[in-house]
């Protein structure tokens, strides 16, 4: 049984196939409009996540399939004390494929270990969120035409940002990628990632100033400073607006420097940047649907 639990579950060759399929879906949506007819996706969301859940549901509906599920733990049997393993066994009787979001790390692994249908990890706490990484890679692949040979800047909360860690691990598998880590001292990228880059001899630089390094970037991945990661409200308030990408900073960037963001955006990207054609974070959402459609087809072995 194929599952997607971690962004590294697919080889780069498998990712190429997935992105090619997503490209074809983008170009020929009608060709895929009924391929999942009669199939059901269960979205089991133990914590609210509007964007990810709706993206999965849209993906399945676009493929002609249907959707069942729950959108928070209170409306599931978890509120009665049912284990993830038991809920999964039950869902297997109802659906053909399942996307699961759970606040605890490893929940999707438990589900996959007890499942007869493909499980997609739609986020397990601060651990993995592989479809966000697929979305990020798909956006870069589609708009840059390559996954490699670029300098990527990651800006904001690099310490707690799960999407950033996954993206780094995914990008180091491609050739000639240089990383610029732009963060305040308190939110630096974890040591284990730095060690991994040193071992692989991948060039990186840690900087505090966004202005100083933005001219070198081919990609800028902005992240939100998340309130829930801080024990101390004072630290959060001090750091939340540390970086604000605005028009003035965009004027320093290359003409083809793409700006990505996993969303939701708060203050870190000024709304005045939204009209800049290099700002692709809303296109990223659309690519997220295409890549989830491709993923569903691959896991159901329909493509």
Partner 1 sequence: MLNVGKIEEGLVLDHIKAGKSMEIYRYLQLDKLDCTVAIIKNARSNKMEKKDIIKVECDIDTLNLDILGYIDHNITVNVIQKGEIVEKKALHLPKEIKNVIHCHNPRCITSIEQELPHIFVLADAAKEVYRCKYCEEKYSKKASRDK
Q: Residues 43-82: x/- map of binding to partner 1 (CB under 8 A)?
A: ----------------------------------------
Report d(CA 27, CA 286) in Å as an integer.
13
Q: Any catalytic annotation for residue 102?
A: no
Cβ proximity to partner 1: between 160 and 236 the closer is 160
Closest CB 206 distance from partner 1, rounded Å:
22
Kindly state the smallest distance separating residue 100's Cβ from partner 1, in Å.
11
Of the CA atoms within 13 Å of residue 197, those in its CB half-sphere come to 22
Comparing CB distances to partner 1, the nearer of 62 and 128 is: 128
The 81-110 site mask, x for binding partner 1 (CB under 8 A), equals --xxx----------------xxxxxx-xx
Instruction: Indicate if 52 belongs to the active site.
Output: yes
Q: Of 40, 102, 129, 298, which residue is the catalytic one?
A: 129
Q: Transcribe 51-88 into DSSP letters.
A: HHHHHHHHHHHHTT-EEEEESSGGGSGGGGT--HHHHH
* Tokens read off for 252: 């320093």
- Look up 198 and say whether it is catalytic: no
Strands in 125-240 per DSSP E? 150-155, 177-182, 204-207, 219-222
Site size toward partner 1 (CB under 8 A) is 15
Q: Are 78 and 46 in contact (CB under 8 A)?
A: yes
User: What number of other Cβ atoms are within 10 A of residue 255's Cβ?
Assistant: 6
Task: Decide if residue 195 touches partner 1 (CB under 8 A).
Answer: no
Q: Which of 31, 51, 104, 227 is catalytic?
A: 51
User: Does residue 127 touch partner 1 according to CB under 8 A?
Assistant: yes
Residues near 285 by Cβ (< 8 Å), separated by ≥ 6?
51, 55, 135, 263
Q: Which residues are catalytic?
A: 51-52, 80, 101, 129
Site residues (CB under 8 A) for partner 1?
A: 83-85, 102-107, 109-110, 124-127
């Amino acid at each position: 049984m194929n599952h997607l639990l971690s962004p590294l579950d697919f080889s780069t060759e498998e990712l190429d196939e997935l992105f090619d399929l997503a490209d074809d879906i983008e170009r020929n949506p009608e060709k895929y409009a009924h391929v999942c007819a009669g199939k059901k996706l269960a979205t089991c969301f133990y914590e609210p996540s509007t964007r990810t859940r709706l993206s999965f549901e849209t993906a399945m509906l676009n493929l002609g399939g249907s959707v069942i599920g729950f959108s928070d733990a209170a409306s599931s049997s978890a509120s009665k004390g049912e284990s993830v393993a038991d809920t999964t066994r039950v869902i297997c009787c109802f659906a053909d494929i399942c996307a699961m979001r759970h606040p605890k790390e490893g929940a999707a692994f438990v589900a996959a270990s007890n499942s007869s249908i493909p499980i997609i990890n739609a986020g397990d706490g601060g651990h993995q969120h592989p479809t966000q990484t697929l979305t990020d890679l798909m956006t870069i692949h589609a708009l840059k035409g390559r996954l490699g040979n670029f300098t990527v800047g990651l800006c904001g909360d690099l310490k707690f940002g799960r999407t950033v860690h996954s993206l780094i691990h995914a990008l180091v598998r491609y050739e000639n990628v240089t990383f610029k880590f732009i963060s305040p001292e308190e939110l630096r990228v974890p040591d284990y990632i730095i060690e991994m880059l040193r071992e692989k001899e991948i060039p990186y630089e840690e900087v505090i100033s966004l202005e100083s390094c933005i001219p070198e970037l081919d990609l800028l991945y902005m992240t939100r400073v998340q309130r829930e990661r801080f024990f101390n409200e004072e630290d959060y308030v001090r750091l939340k607006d540390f970086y604000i990408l605005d028009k003035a900073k965009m004027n320093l960037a290359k003409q083809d420097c793409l700006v990505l963001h996993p969303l939701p955006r708060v203050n870190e990207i000024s709304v005045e940047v939204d009209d800049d054609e290099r700002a692709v974070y809303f296109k990223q959402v659309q690519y997220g649907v295409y890549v989830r459609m491709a993923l569903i087809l691959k896991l159901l072995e329909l493509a």
